[in-house]
Structure 1
Amino acid sequence: MVALALATTVVTGTAGWASGTAQQALTGPPPGTAAWRADRIPGLELPDPERATPAQVHRFFAELTDARQQDLIARHPLVVGNLDGVPAGLRYRANALALKADRDPRYTHLTEAEGGADPEAEAGIGTGAAEAGASSSGAGHRQILAFDPRGRGQVAEVFGDLHTARHVAVVVPGSDIDAGTFDRTNDVYGTPAGMAKALHAETGPGTAVIAWAGYTTPVGLGLDAATGSLAEAGADRLARFVAGLVADGLPAPTVFCHSYGSVVCGLAASRLTATDLVVLGSPGMRADDVADLRTRARVWAAKDASDWIDNVPNIRVAGLGHGPDPAAPEFGARRVPAHDAHGHTGYFAPGTDSLRAFAAIAEGRAQ
């Protein structure tokens, strides 16, 4: 009866299950793995993209000569560009090459650079790894840290300089986000790129912010959004992605989780090397309270009174729902002020208390 009540509430309050389209989670190793595994390079044993840990991947690439690195980028750009543990500078170059070769018009916007610069040239194709790593940020190009063209497409983009940043933040989005809607011009602060840009502008050059659309998100407000299957697959990908950042020698990040993205973060929490977890507009984290997350990270929650997510039942039964509200006092999270955020996608809007608080958390200034 409780499950039926939950279903009825969601159907009547969110236009019903029919407003969502069932998705198949993208799992497994990067695209191009079969060719990578079949490649036989004399004197070189390539790590298996599915079995090697990010730390093992990083050690492998760190021991290669620049010529070897360039050769692997040219032969397998999709693997190098999406394999967690590969140094960021090499991933930028590999993804610039992959995007240039991709003919799908859905991804044209990802190749556009400020001032009309050539993304391949800006990303340092053909230069030494050390030089590219040192100069790849702030040159006016897009720093694409991941690009997977399969399905609806997945992408991660860096704002700021990862190699000099004292602080790193990762933004995990919710429903209806993929490579095509990653940086849409409408509802900007509901997109990972818009949220990341706003946070980077508020924090300044000492912080690098990564917009991570690296999992299959629900479409609409259907069963996918009310259950945890896509979040479980996304949690595995997020945990590996963050492990790759740490393996690359970057600071443990602050992870910002919006809407359904907070379900992903809740399921990944115990495996994330993060200083802070910040959830905003959350339907629940599939945890009873902060202790149930089993994380050493500080946990923060923001919810504006005008956010429609407040109408979602905070229960979990028969696979439906995501559990208690992280913004409720009894959950135990630190509360982020959000009275002027306005709606479900206003938390990163410039000038809001919530964005200022997010910047303080990302920079380690918040208590």
Structure 2
Amino acid sequence: MVTYAQLTSANSQPFRDAAKAYGDLADKLIDRSDDAAKQLRALPEAWEGEGTDAAATAIKNAVTETDDAVLMLQRCDQILADFAGELDKAKSMLSDAVADARAIPAQIAADGTLTVRPEDGPPSGHPAWAGVYKLVDAAQTAIRDAVQYATTADTTATTDLRATVPGTKGKPYPADKIPPRGTDPKKVRDWWNSLSPEERQYLIAHFPDKVGWLDGVPAENRDQANRLTLAREQHRIRDELDRLKAEGKEGTGEYKDLQGKLAGLDRIEQRLLAAGGDGKDADGMQSNDRRAYLLGVDTSGDGKAIVAVGNPDTADNIVTYIPGTGADLSKVGGDINRVDRMVFDAQQMDPTKRTAGILWLGYDAPDKIIQFPPGGDATDPKYAVNAGNDLDLFQDGLRVTHDGPRSTNTVLGHSYGSTVVGYAAKDHGLDIDNAVFVGSPGVGVEKAGDLGLDPNHVYSTHAKNDPIQYALDPGDLVRMQNPLNPDVDLIHGHNPSSADFGGHKFASDPGTPLMKPEIKTKTYDPLGPFGPSVTVPVGFDPHLSGAAHSEYWDDGNASRDNIAKIVTGNGGTVTGDHRK
């Protein structure tokens, strides 16, 4: 049983540090396991004879034992990181309760018991004492709740750590019985729950690429599987780059594509190793040190990745972020930073609740805004249509694997990502509490009610200088007298920030001006050194800028506070709402 005094003095940082140490050790073992597997593949070419089979068996056994140890270490990392987050929440609950007690004012004993001195209250026998006692009871209950929350977290972590027994062997399970990707998450959950711990361990170690993408498998298990896939893909791509370099193909498109994917994988690994760090993201902006969970990674095509900051299965609030045009594995770093900032903002907004943020790059985003001839760019809704079912399954998976009371789930799409959210909502019906559109070119509908969601929980923002709001429907360009009217239909439907769309609009900073016109000049000396110089205009540069489209997550932007309000269930308090 955790005591009031213990919770008051508790510090979560040592647990974060220990979690990181376990995670770092697991990553090192993954590298050693991959090296051994590489040697095993090369063995037949380097050695022939009676001892070859014995050597191969010994290496296989070593790889299996190493993989088992990796899973154990990763589980310790997860347990300790989760406990650190729960401890922070308990301390925040206690801090609020103590503040309420002192405001009465009540005296707090060493064991957390509250009393009110006669001189601090109303006159003896005054009816107002009834109100004082009511406040004391409420504060006392809040203190007990905080201590009990910490006790439950401590007991859970202790039990989970004891269950993580070193040396546990995986039990073989046939690959053809693994549910295919796209299976109903409820069926996946039931299947996963029917397996023994040894069978789960075997599947994670031997089929990480299959387990890692299954919606309905708990986040902690998907994370274990995908970390194995991540390390193996890093090794594979590095080997492939070495081969291409040896063949003199460094400047080829294939080489550059692999370089970009490796950079993306390395950036994901950097975030996975960052828990317990200095609370700054890769751009040096204020972020957080929550443990990250890798819920999906795929290097085929442009590449895909799903990265969670915080454990969504235990979070009170979950925000899923869908990036837009140009998003791919090579550029994943900036999107991870945005998720980090949203989690940080939500924790600052309501530290008594745990918030998890998820980068969902689980779809093939358009590569370009527009291309000629037309087709296959951001004007085409096919990317959003194709992504809808996968996003819907992922959101369903978050619900079925979640522990505890129902979480507040928000899906936020930026740019073309908002179009993905819109099509997923109207075509499949997303099991979410809030939909947020940031810098949207349209979401495939004319009214918020067409999304199958309560319009009171649909939110949108456009920075004043964001050029995306001028991504007009071609017919409107012909019909309008004033083409720069952001309230007309956009390329993918009615502007969700317009008053007649039916949802809420919230404020963002204007952003970098769309145009900074400048007259270019040139100076002449017509009389040489004997006369004055003459400066004349020689051209005009409009200095067009689209920077505002990407500034919604910059430090100090009003959109960040408003997004945090929505994510924490306080969307009714957003600023700049035209419905107020």
TM-score above 0.5, yes or no? yes
In the other structure, the counterpart of 1:193 is: 336
Larger displacement relative to structure 2 (72-81 or 49-58): 49-58
Shift of 1:325: 0.6
Distance 1:311 1:48, change over 3 A: same
Distance 1:43 1:97, change over 3 A: closer
The AA in structure 1 aligned to 2:327 is I
Listed as ranges, the gaps of 5+ residues in structure 2 are 1-171, 238-261, 276-287, 477-489, 513-547, 573-580
In the other structure, the counterpart of 1:283 is: 441
**CA distance, structure 1, for counterparts of residue 421 and residue 361 of structure 2:** 13
Query: What SS does the corresponding residue of 1:246 show, helix, strand or coil?
Result: helix
Distance 1:140 1:357, change over 3 A: closer
Query: What SS does the corresponding residue of 2:378 show, helix, strand or coil?
Result: helix
Shift of 1:61: 0.9
Is 1:328 matched with 2:328?
A: no
TM-score (norm 2): 0.49
Shift of 1:182: 0.8
Query: What SS does the corresponding residue of 2:491 show, helix, strand or coil?
Result: coil
Distance 1:115 1:158, change over 3 A: closer
The AA in structure 2 aligned to 1:195 is R
**CA distance, structure 2, for counterparts of residue 316 and residue 91 of structure 1:** 46
Is 1:295 matched with 2:456?
A: no
Q: Is the 8 A contact 1:340 1:353 kept in 2?
A: no
Distance 1:242 1:248, change over 3 A: same
Structure showing greater Rg:
2
Listed as ranges, the gaps of 5+ residues in structure 1 are 1-40, 118-137, 184-190
Larger displacement relative to structure 2 (263-272 or 291-300): 291-300
**CA distance, structure 1, for counterparts of residue 182 and residue 471 of structure 2:** 39
Larger displacement relative to structure 2 (347-356 or 245-254): 245-254
Q: Map residues 69-88 of structure 1 onto 2, 5 A cutoff.
A: 69-88=200-219
**CA distance, structure 1, for counterparts of residue 204 and residue 336 of structure 2:** 25
Query: What SS does the corresponding residue of 1:82 show, helix, strand or coil?
Result: coil
**CA distance, structure 1, for counterparts of residue 385 and residue 298 of structure 2:** 19
Larger displacement relative to structure 2 (253-262 or 141-150): 141-150
**CA distance, structure 1, for counterparts of residue 182 and residue 553 of structure 2:** 37
Q: Map residues 71-220 of structure 1 onto 2, 5 A cutoff.
A: 71-102=202-233, 103-104=236-237, 105-106=262-263, 107-112=265-270, 142-183=292-333, 191-204=334-347, 206-220=354-368
Count of residue correspondences: 299
TM-score (norm 1): 0.75
**CA distance, structure 2, for counterparts of residue 294 and residue 256 of structure 1:** 16
Shift of 1:47: 4.4
Larger displacement relative to structure 2 (44-53 or 194-203): 44-53
Q: Is the 8 A contact 1:315 1:324 kept in 2?
A: no
Greater RCO between the two (CA within 8 Å, min separation 6)? 1
Distance 1:46 1:139, change over 3 A: farther
RMSD between superposed Cα atoms in Å: 2.5
Q: Is the 8 A contact 1:258 1:281 kept in 2?
A: yes
**CA distance, structure 1, for counterparts of residue 460 and residue 474 of structure 2:** 18
Shift of 1:338: 1.0
In the other structure, the counterpart of 1:355 is: 560
The AA in structure 1 aligned to 2:231 is K
Is 1:64 matched with 2:195?
A: yes
The AA in structure 1 aligned to 2:432 is A
- Write out per-residue CA displacement over residues 141-168 of structure 1, whole angstroms, 9 at most, x where no aligned residue: 6421111121111001111232431111
**CA distance, structure 2, for counterparts of residue 196 and residue 174 of structure 1:** 14
Distance 1:113 1:192, change over 3 A: closer
**CA distance, structure 1, for counterparts of residue 475 and residue 358 of structure 2:** 31
Higher percent of residues as helix: 2
Larger displacement relative to structure 2 (48-57 or 354-363): 48-57
Query: What SS does the corresponding residue of 1:180 show, helix, strand or coil?
Result: helix
In the other structure, the counterpart of 1:365 is: 570
Shift of 1:48: 2.9
Distance 1:316 1:282, change over 3 A: farther
Query: What SS does the corresponding residue of 2:368 show, helix, strand or coil?
Result: coil
Q: Is the 8 A contact 1:284 1:314 kept in 2?
A: no
Distance 1:341 1:163, change over 3 A: farther
Distance 1:150 1:56, change over 3 A: same
The AA in structure 1 aligned to 2:219 is A
- Write out per-residue CA displacement over residues 133-190 of structure 1, whole angstroms, 9 at most, x where no aligned residue: xxxxx9876421111121111001111232431111100110111111111xxxxxxx
**CA distance, structure 2, for counterparts of residue 326 and residue 147 of structure 1:** 32
Query: What SS does the corresponding residue of 1:144 show, helix, strand or coil?
Result: strand
Query: What SS does the corresponding residue of 1:225 show, helix, strand or coil?
Result: coil
**CA distance, structure 1, for counterparts of residue 174 and residue 304 of structure 2:** 33
Query: What SS does the corresponding residue of 2:421 show, helix, strand or coil?
Result: helix
Q: Is the 8 A contact 2:314 2:402 kept in 1?
A: no
Q: Is the 8 A contact 2:419 2:443 kept in 1?
A: yes
